[in-house]
Amino acid sequence: MQYGYAGKILKINLNSGDYSAGSIPKELSDQYLGGRGFVARILYDRLKPGTDPLSEDNLVVVATGPLSGHLLPGSGKTHFGALSPATGGYGDSNLGGHFGPNLKYAGYDCLIIEGAAEKLSTVIIDDDKIRVVEDESLRGKGAIEAEKALKTRLGDDFQIITTGPAGENEVAFACISHDFGRQAGRTGIAAVLGSKNVKAVAVRGTGALPVYDSAGAQKKGEEMYRVCYSKPGFKTWTPYGTASLTDWANEVGAFPTRNFQSSYFEFHHAINGQAIRDHLLVTEKGCFGCPTPCGKYGLAETTVGKAYVEGPEYESIATLGGSCCLESIEEVAYANYVCDQLGLDTISAGVVVSFAFECYEKKVITKEEVGRDISFGSLEDVIYLLEKIAAREGIGEPLSKGVKHAAAVFGGGSEKYAIQVKGLEWSGYECRNAPGMMLSYMTADVGAHHNRSWALGYDISESDADVSALISAGTSGELGVATPEGKVDHVISMQHSRPLFDALGICRLQTQEIGFETEHYEEVFELITGRRVSWEAMIGISERIWHLTRLFNVKHIEGFGREYDYPPRRLTEDPVTTGPNKGRFIKREILDRMLDEYYEKRGWDKNGVPTEETLERWNLNNGQVVDLRW
């Protein structure tokens, strides 16, 4: 028995309908902790080079962490991973809610789904009773609609993840949905579920988790909540959540606007956190164990329709609002709702739709190809394209594979405004005056995603040469030019610390946003698992995982290396068109300088491939695989 863990990994083979469960190998928990670590190691070991992401040979791995499901702040996180159909490389995504804790209470830290079902199916895990149930009645249902139907059928005590029509149709940026508005959004894991004919996974767990020092862990957990409640940031974080970034991102010129042509959206005050409170909010909503509920559940009423929706989060505001130029929070929220029902990642969807708008504006694609006129700022056109993409009809077919693929189909120089890295669409931060954030996007293992490193704060804070002058100018003064110096260390440090939370199975927002000390996690980890592991040692584990996911990409993407780490040419050649950073861009030479330094500090060669010494240091070159045969 390993304290803290439920103890088992469940494998379900959809070809045969068979399932089996085995113990977690100790080397797996020792060297990879759980969550993201389990996902990365299992995928690396078990997927062969040349695997088609949408074939039955791909796997979907769902993993909780050692702290998931225990009574401490933010312990509701679950990690999902697969060979990504968006990038052809390592893919993972994370969600809160209640699914992971229930998976553990059912007895499983990790679920591996292999093969493919013959018909559309739901996987049901009811403690130790496992079933794969064919159910064509759910075909075509929206992700939230399907969850509601299954809750009605199975009972409210089941926690359910679903896919929408986009997942069924294998759209490269289809997302997993849960709890009526939480998503594991990125890298297209739901498309992999769709290729396996899995519409949903429902879990109900009623068991207990083994805890090394139960009384001590409970006492510590209670203390952790008290500490959270006492933090000065507690009261200011919850009312606005991530949407409070909107005005700030505009003031510092980092808000993607008009498909990243600009970094300032003149209607930002109409789509900010205050607008959510004024025009949408019904209630706040948190995940399992959350003391700081950042979810905003609201009602969006537009001329097109009205709907209850969770969000929008900042990222959705940036991509559906700024990048597509929707000018009211109701419109952004409604577009968010359409994405949620169709099962589309709002980040990629917003970038793909705004890319289509720009291609149309620049006459790269025609009215005949699109099927109608389309333009920035039209909610009707956003919805039209989202529905085409989810159905993979007409113009939706090339767009359904993401902007990199669509640009290759469209031609006409459109690759320049396909805003992505490694095939994954860029999330909500325009970077032409933010070299640290640019490097974060370039080197993130899954592609252009912000959650691995958010170095934007360093870019902005260090670009102010004269703080007093800026203050007297208010927030409309001209920004200093951000420099790349010193950014590499910040990026590397964040790429270890932030993903570590995903390996532990906890939310990082309590630490990141309200200043909750990481020492608490060390202590509670010891009380729960009986193992004393320092935060520094855990950071080391996170670094091992980082090298492993890079190796994964080397293994699965032919010719993978430095060329895969560059942003599109728009960001290195075209100046920002309006706003505080008007005229700015970062030359490719500067990116090369940062990449050289980054690779050297990582222990990778000049092509970005981990060296033998690095692999040896992290015990990644022994040719061994974690034994999951049982």
| Residues in contact with other proteins by the rule CB under 8 A | 231-233, 235-237, 241-242, 244-245, 248-249, 251-252, 313-315, 429, 450-451, 454, 456-458, 460-462, 464, 467-468, 470-471, 474-475, 479, 509, 512-515
Please, what is the minimum distance in Å from the beta carbon of residue 487 to other proteins? Answer: 13
Q: What are the CA-CA distances from residue 466 to residues 188, 289, 479 (Å)?
A: 44, 43, 10
Please, what is the minimum distance in Å from the beta carbon of residue 537 to other proteins? Answer: 20
Please, what is the minimum distance in Å from the beta carbon of residue 429 to other proteins? Answer: 7
| Closest of 568, 591, 575 to residue 262, by C-alpha | 575
- Coil, strand, or helix at residue 11? strand
Residue with tokens 């008007």, as numbered in its chain? 582
Residue with tokens 């080079």, as numbered in its chain? 49
Nearer to other proteins, 494 or 571 (CB): 494
The encoded tokens of residue 160 equal: 């359910």
DSSP output for 12-44 = EETTT--EEEEEPPHHHHHHH-STHHHHHHHHH
Nearer to other proteins, 102 or 443 (CB): 443
- Coil, strand, or helix at residue 112? strand
d(CA 337, CA 621): 46
Please, what is the minimum distance in Å from the beta carbon of residue 313 to other proteins? Answer: 6
Nearer to other proteins, 229 or 630 (CB): 229
d(CA 258, CA 532): 50
Please, what is the minimum distance in Å from the beta carbon of residue 453 to other proteins? Answer: 8
Cis peptide before 610 (omega within 30 of 0): no
Rounded to 5 degrees, φ, ψ at 165 are -55, -35
- Coil, strand, or helix at residue 424? strand
Please, what is the minimum distance in Å from the beta carbon of residue 315 to other proteins? Answer: 6
Nearer to other proteins, 238 or 354 (CB): 238
Query: Residue 9: CB partners within 8 Å, gap ≥ 6?
Result: 21, 22, 23, 24, 108, 109, 110, 111, 112, 628
Please, what is the minimum distance in Å from the beta carbon of residue 457 to other proteins? Answer: 5
Nearer to other proteins, 429 or 604 (CB): 429
Nearer to other proteins, 429 or 552 (CB): 429
HSE toward the beta carbon, residue 54, CA cutoff 13 A: 18
Please, what is the minimum distance in Å from the beta carbon of residue 294 to other proteins? Answer: 9
DSSP 8-state symbol, 582 = T
Nearer to other proteins, 15 or 475 (CB): 475
Nearer to other proteins, 366 or 461 (CB): 461
